[in-house]
Amino acid sequence: MATKLILAKTPAEAVDAKTSSAAFIAGGTEVNRLGSDIAGEADVLISLKKCGALKSIERDAGYVTVGSMCTFQQIVESEWIPAYLKEAALFMASRTKRNMATIAGNIAANRSDSYLIPALTVAGAVIELCRKSGETVRVGIQEYLENKESYGNDLIVSVTVPEDIRLVSKRYANTAQSHAVLTMSAALTEEGIYMAGGVKNVGQLHFCDLEKAFNEDPDISEEAIIKMVRDCTGLHTEDDMFGSDAYKRYLIAVTAFDLHRKLKGKEV
Amino acid sequence: MITCTINGKKRSFDIDPTRRLREMLLMNGNFAVRDSDDAEGFCGSDTVIMNDVPVFSNLVLAGEAEGCEIITPDSLGDSMHLSVVQQALVDAGVVQSAYNAPAAALLMTWLFEKNHNPSREDVKDILSGIFIRDAGYEHYYLAADLIKEKLATGKYKTQIAPEFRPNLKAVGKVMPKVDAPQLVSGERAFVEDYVDDDTCYMVVLRSPYAHAYVNKIDTSKAEALPGVIKVITAYNCSDATYMSAGQGNPEPSPHDRKLLNKKVRHVGDRVAAIVAETLEEAIKARDLIEVEYEPLEAVFTVEEAMAEGAPLVHNGRVQYNAGAPDDLDEYNAKLSGDEREGKVVYQFPLHGDILHNVAAANHGGIGDVDKAFEEADAVVEATFQTSQIQHTPLETHICFSKLENGRLIIYASTQVPYHVRRIVSWVTGLSENKIHVIKTRVGGGYGSKQDILVEDLTAYATYVTGRPVLYHNTREEEFIANSTRHPMRVHVKMGGKKDGSITGIYLKVDANTGPYGNHALTVPMNSCSKTLPLFKCDNMKYDLTIYYTNTPPAGAYQGYGTPKGTYGLMMAMCELADKLGVDYKEMVLKNHVEEGYMLEILRGLGEGREGNVVPVGSCGLREAVEKGCEMIEWGKREESDDPDWKIGKGFAMIMQGSGLPGLDHANAIAKLEMDGSIIVLSGAADIGTGLDTIIAKVASDILCVPMDRITVLSGDTDSGAFDTGSYASSGTFFSGNAAVVASTNLKEKILDEAAYQLGEDVEDIEVDWPGVARSKKTGKELSYYDIIHTTTSGTGRGHLIAPGSFTTAASSVPYGAHFAQVAVNVRTGEVKVQKFYAIQDAGTPINPEAALCQMYGASLKSIGHTLYEDMILDKYGRCVNATMTDYGVPMISEQPDDFKAVLIDVDDPDGPFGAKSISEIACNGAAPAIGNAIHDACGVWMRSWPMTPEKILRELGKI
């Protein structure tokens, strides 16, 4: 249980204070919420709310760089943020929560029901990290999430996403405020279709087999996709309170098919 | 030190910066910043404005407020000086139980500061972080319109609600609820606001097992902890066997629980209570208690409970206080008789059989259903399953008790103050004159506060420690240790002729009461007694069995068992119409009861006693059906632009009761005060629904005294007189009628005294506005001030005080019909409720705007039950979704786009000024209306709620 709070005024100050027993707090909706493991395990909490430098949104050469402390609501309201990211931010139904939750907090939490990660992943978002040494490094979001432990003491400074990318998303939850059973995004890139999604209690997944199937046969049938996902042994969905294994697999398949269909027919 | 500005004033606090901002605000006295979700960031009760942005103060650390500007809800205006926004919320009728009303007012104020002309979408957006369970959200949109109009022109243009009875000045008129200013402004109102500084805290150690003996409890380490005052266990507390159900005494529920048991019967059952100086110390001590359990096999469903050789939830001995069977000794010899089991005490026979886990049962009917099915052209038979549902009141269960001069003083958030007193008397052994129950404002009840779930143990802790004690449920405890809606299996068989007439109905209900039998009979009974009387059918039969299991307890829930019976019957009727090739609307119109139809079916449905057979009284059912069909354009098929989405329509007729004739009882005392104003002392328990306002309105119209000169004091067992409480839709009908009787009696006393003082005959005197008695013969006039001044003088005849008591055999039944239009995505199973129309006959709506809000609130709640809500237990009986986010309640995002509540004008001969009940009935229609609409959209019959996308996909054969 935390006994100390540090109000960092700069990213450097925040990173300097970070140890293995300390945790960053961004918006607080994750760290401070009921049942949070982070608040229970950390001795020291490092609040980033006074770091004004992390709240900017900048636009340059077809890319938008979002400061790590930008809230979901700032993303929704910004004229520079691309529509696909606004849509993902609006998946968080509570306005009050959107006023608090931040883009970096949502990435760092790396929840299986993350609002933003699927869209950021297929958008090829790049994360800028501030390290204890003072250097900054830029890594792709997928690299960051897959090797999160190695970036544990680094602070996310910003997230850069492309403005012009054909990208669609879909989220399923019991009610708008419930945790999502599936949040899925797909984007059309030069290499073809890119699909990722969060499956509740499974994690953030890159649907390589689906990409391959769509890229190899853009007219593949829905039945084929459903069968493919139903039979996929690499997908470790289980029955739980969010639905059965069969339901989740069916939903992934149908959603993949829908997103692919939309990408083929939709101009950004 | 943390320094910040709160409501424009600079303040400094010596507080651990890792504590929550809300705790700091409470230190500052901003107690209207409340907590409904234990810092889940869901309900929004803790909303404040921080640096001009709305945030959840429970998710902000105190230290992060350094240098910040904070605005709290109590800054907007006090109850004597409401802001435009606060006043509009009051006027729109949304300030009901109102635990979140101050937070909602704060958000609306912030919205209007940014935008003087917000759109409907803007209002929806700003309220998206506020959970409103009582009034729904529809009238918040109305409030926004009122605010716009007031700001623009200085007055309202929009009609808030229809008004009724033009001959009356208060009844049927749009007027602020009398407690609304207090509630919206965030003044002291709820139990937590009255807690003394020297209060200690109680927490409860709960069972991790669904079924186990408690063989040993070692409390020594806990008791040795500094600050710990007392650890109470089954081994050192009262052994009284009682029942948590707050209903008429003797109760139609088995007495089968104790303060603390030596056998636990569900995960979350009470094992020990720890009283300590601080909450932290109490929690720490709880962790030090060592318990030796002897786990037992458990049963969780009615199917498991009824199986041959099933583990017995109660295996002690059975006792009857009246009507014991002759073979009781032989029966008891078959039970284990283990002392740890305790006993089950029936006040009178309820056809229980604990050897087969049956808590109660009832069977009966009229005519010959077998013959009726033989004669039918078509018969449908289907089984419907409903889920276990939590009430989720914003204010979780709470009790504060203390001793004063040898009396127990209990501040309770309850629907039944007199039953609280009775049960506390049983567990403490104190006589009722030594117990004073003060019902505060109630932050949401919905039936859950009809059970005495925390008051017994809290008061007992004060009794044995002599200390003021506060107990407050966590949100998780609301799920695992409170009463919930009974899961039920409803089997319906219905036969009909080609002309659409129904020949026979058979209803078999198997209900799961959980580990204890509170409301075991009465709630499931309603699945028959408030549904079968809708049908003009000579052949009806019902079999009702209630089983004990080891799930979290069930109990009273708004609507009692009626929504479940209605779900099965109206779905079956729609299916029968489909099978017969008859239009469902025509079938409904052909088979519903009408005024004067004798309800023989009620004879066996009297809650453990013989029921009253009465004719149908005033009945707006047909008008409701016709009106709703017209509004939703019944028979017109809607098509979606997207081929994946199919649109369908459905509806259901509904009924409820207005209290329990022959069982309920209400009292009131009306007093003429020294300046001619009126105080009414009522036994009633206003739980936010406007009952105090109803009482004030009837007194106003009877005594011709303006509303602002009438005060209603209710829910206080010292100052009022007995009332069975607010449940079974009894408030308006029983407590309202008691106020009518008391006011009428006071009026007679005023007339008599005025005649005496004027020297005229009483027949020649009348009362008139604004509180005068006038001679019709001479025109002479005495104000109430004149009358009371004289009669309380040294030569006067005494204070004018009039009691009023109300009981009746009359039954004023509210009727209605609920309509839904849904869109179903046949590829993903998603359902959108596009339209929902609630059309109801509530007799004379005494508070029309509040009545509409209750219809919206209950309808949205039941949409939630139909589509989203379900307590999910794992194989060990643990609730795995005991948080608001995981459980899934409908909020503003789930509200239908087109949502309408319509009141049918019916003047009931027995209700106070023609009124019937309003709120409970509105829980009954959503499931069958939506279920039938889903069938209309995509052809599948949904036989269990919640009707989730996965279930729809399964019915469609997609998975």
Which of B806, B835, B866 is the last residue before a domain boundary? B806
pLDDT at A234: 92
Nearest to B885 among A4, A179, A244 (CB): A179
Check pLDDT > 90 for residue A39: no
Which of B761, B791, B806 is the last residue before a domain boundary? B806
Check CB contact of B60 with chain A, cutoff 8 Å: yes
Q: What is the mean pLDDT of residues B578-592?
A: 98
What is the strand order of the sheet B228-233 is part of? B228-233, B270-276, B200-206, B469-472, B398-404, B407-412, B435-439
Counting the structural domains of chain B, the total is: 4
- On the 0-12 / 13-18 / 19+ scale of CB atoms within 10 A, B292 is exposed
DSSP B170-195: STTS----TTHHHHHHT-S-SGGGG-
Check pLDDT > 70 for residue B511: yes
Mean pLDDT, rounded, of chain A = 95
Check pLDDT > 80 for residue B329: yes
Length of chain B: 959
Q: What is the mean pLDDT of residues B457-462?
A: 98
User: How many whole angstroms separate alpha carbon A202 and alpha carbon A180?
Assistant: 12
Q: Which residues of chain A are within 8 Å of residue B17 when distances are taken between CB atoms?
A: 5
Q: Which residues of chain B are within 8 Å of residue A177 when distances are taken between CB atoms?
A: 42, 884-885, 888, 891, 893
Residue B64: which of A88, A2, A78, A257 has the closest Cα? A2
* Best mutation target, A7, A25, A48, A175, to test chain B (most B CBs within 10 A): A175
Q: Name the residue of chain A whose CA is nearest to B881's CA.
A: A241
Q: What is the DSSP letter of B637?
A: P
* Per-residue pLDDT tens digits for B827-861: 999 999 999 999 999 999 999 999 999 999 999 99
pLDDT at B534: 97
Check CB contact of B129 with chain A, cutoff 8 Å: yes
- Are both B292 and B404 inside the same structural domain? yes
- Are both B772 and B827 inside the same structural domain? no
Q: Name the residue of chain B whose CA is nearest to A258's CA.
A: B827
- Are both B697 and B756 inside the same structural domain? yes
Q: Name the residue of chain B whose CA is nearest to A35's CA.
A: B40
Residue B352: which of B556, B521, B505, B512 has the closest Cα? B521
- Are both B887 and B900 inside the same structural domain? yes
Q: Give the confidence band of A264 by pLDDT, cuts at 50, 70, 90.
A: confident
Nearest to A243 among B54, B475, B950 (CB): B950
Is A52-162 in CATH node 3.90.1150.10? no
Q: Which residues contact B486 (CB under 8 A, 6 or more apart)?
A: B388, B511, B512, B513, B514, B523, B524, B546, B554, B555, B557, B561, B564
Q: Which residues of chain B are within 8 Å of residue A45 when distances are taken between CB atoms?
A: 18, 61
Type of residue found at A25: I
- Are both B404 and B284 inside the same structural domain? yes
Q: Give the confidence band of B506 by pLDDT, cuts at 50, 70, 90.
A: very high
Tell me whether residue B633 is in a domain: yes
Q: Which two tokens stand for residue B405?
A: 């001069």
Q: Which two tokens stand for residue B534?
A: 């809708």
Check pLDDT > 70 for residue B521: yes
- Are both B802 and B818 inside the same structural domain? no
Q: Which two tokens stand for residue B774?
A: 């006038």
Nearest to A7 among B16, B66, B883 (CB): B66
**Backbone angles phi and psi of A83, in degrees to 5:** -60, -35
Q: Do A175 and B889 touch (CB under 8 A)?
A: yes
- On the 0-12 / 13-18 / 19+ scale of CB atoms within 10 A, B449 is buried
Check pLDDT > 90 for residue B417: yes
* Best mutation target, A29, A31, A32, to test chain B (most B CBs within 10 A): A32
Strand partners, B48: B55
Q: Which two tokens stand for residue A51?
A: 């770091």
Sole residue written with tokens 């200085």 = B154
Q: Do A100 and B56 touch (CB under 8 A)?
A: yes
The domain containing residue B834 runs over which residues?
488-607+615-658+811-955
Q: What is the mean pLDDT of residues B681-685?
A: 97
Tell me whether residue B788 is in a domain: yes
Q: Above pLDDT 70, what percent of chain B?
A: 100
Neighbour tally for B287: CB within 10 Å: 11
Strand partners, A57: A66
Check pLDDT > 50 for residue B142: yes
Domain with CATH 3.30.390.50 in chain A: 166-265
pLDDT at B907: 95
- On the 0-12 / 13-18 / 19+ scale of CB atoms within 10 A, B559 is buried
Q: Which residues of chain B are within 8 Å of residue A200 when distances are taken between CB atoms?
A: none
Check pLDDT > 50 for residue A267: no
Q: Give the confidence band of A36 by pLDDT, cuts at 50, 70, 90.
A: confident
* Per-residue pLDDT tens digits for B359-372: 999 999 999 999 99
Check pLDDT > 50 for residue B286: yes
Q: How far is B16 from chain A (nearest CA, A)?
A: 8
Out of B288-302, B593-607, B888-902, which region has the weakest mean confidence (pLDDT)? B593-607
Which of B39, B56, B75 is the last residue before a domain boundary? B75
* Per-residue pLDDT tens digits for B37-77: 999 999 999 999 999 999 999 999 999 999 999 999 999 99
Choose which CATH entry (3.30.413.10, 3.30.390.50, 3.30.43.10, 3.40.50.10540) describes domain A166-265.
Answer: 3.30.390.50
Pair B765, B751: CB distance under 8 Å: yes
Q: Name the residue of chain B whose CA is nearest to A45's CA.
A: B18
pLDDT at B810: 87
- Are both B591 and B732 inside the same structural domain? no
* Per-residue pLDDT tens digits for B212-252: 999 999 999 999 999 999 999 999 999 999 999 998 888 88
* Per-residue pLDDT tens digits for A144-203: 999 999 998 999 999 999 999 999 999 999 999 999 999 999 999 888 999 999 999 999
B residues 850-879 lying closer than 8 A (beta carbon) to A: 864, 868, 872
Helix (H) or strand (E) holding B146: helix B138-153
pLDDT at B272: 98
* Per-residue pLDDT tens digits for B753-811: 999 999 999 999 999 999 999 999 999 999 999 999 999 999 999 999 999 999 999 88
User: How many whole angstroms separate alpha carbon B285 and alpha carbon B793?
Assistant: 61
Q: Which two tokens stand for residue B121?
A: 């979408």
Query: With the C-alpha atoms ordered B722, B728, B730, B732, is the resulting torsion angle positive or negative?
Result: positive
Q: Do A99 and B53 touch (CB under 8 A)?
A: yes
Nearest to A95 among B17, B129, B827 (CB): B129
Tell me whether residue B540 is in a domain: yes
Domain with CATH 3.30.465.10 in chain A: 52-162
Q: For residue B554, what is the domain's CATH number?
A: 3.30.365.10
- Are both B455 and B540 inside the same structural domain? no
pLDDT at B609: 73
Check pLDDT > 80 for residue A268: no
- Are both B508 and B624 inside the same structural domain? yes
Q: How far is B644 from chain A (nearest CA, A)?
A: 11
Tell me whether residue B670 is in a domain: yes
Q: Which two tokens stand for residue B393?
A: 């009141």
Q: Do A97 and B58 touch (CB under 8 A)?
A: no
Long-range contacts of A123-126 (CB under 8 A, 24+ apart): A123/A84, A123/A85, A123/A161, A123/A162, A123/A165, A123/A167, A123/A185, A123/A187, A124/A161, A124/A162, A124/A165, A124/A187, A124/A189, A124/A194, A125/A159, A125/A160, A125/A161, A126/A159, A126/A160, A126/A161
- Are both B639 and B525 inside the same structural domain? yes
Pair B134, B96: CB distance under 8 Å: yes
Q: Do B885 and A178 touch (CB under 8 A)?
A: yes
Nearest to A175 among B41, B890, B950 (CB): B890
- Are both B651 and B709 inside the same structural domain? no
Q: Do B953 and A250 touch (CB under 8 A)?
A: yes
Q: What's the longest Cα–Cα distance across chain B? A: 87
- Are both B492 and B554 inside the same structural domain? yes
Q: What is the mean pLDDT of residues B165-185?
A: 98
What is the strand order of the sheet B765-768 is part of? B765-768, B772-775, B781-783
Q: Do B886 and A178 touch (CB under 8 A)?
A: yes
Check pLDDT > 80 for residue B552: yes
ipTM of the complex: 0.97
Helix (H) or strand (E) holding B91: helix B84-92
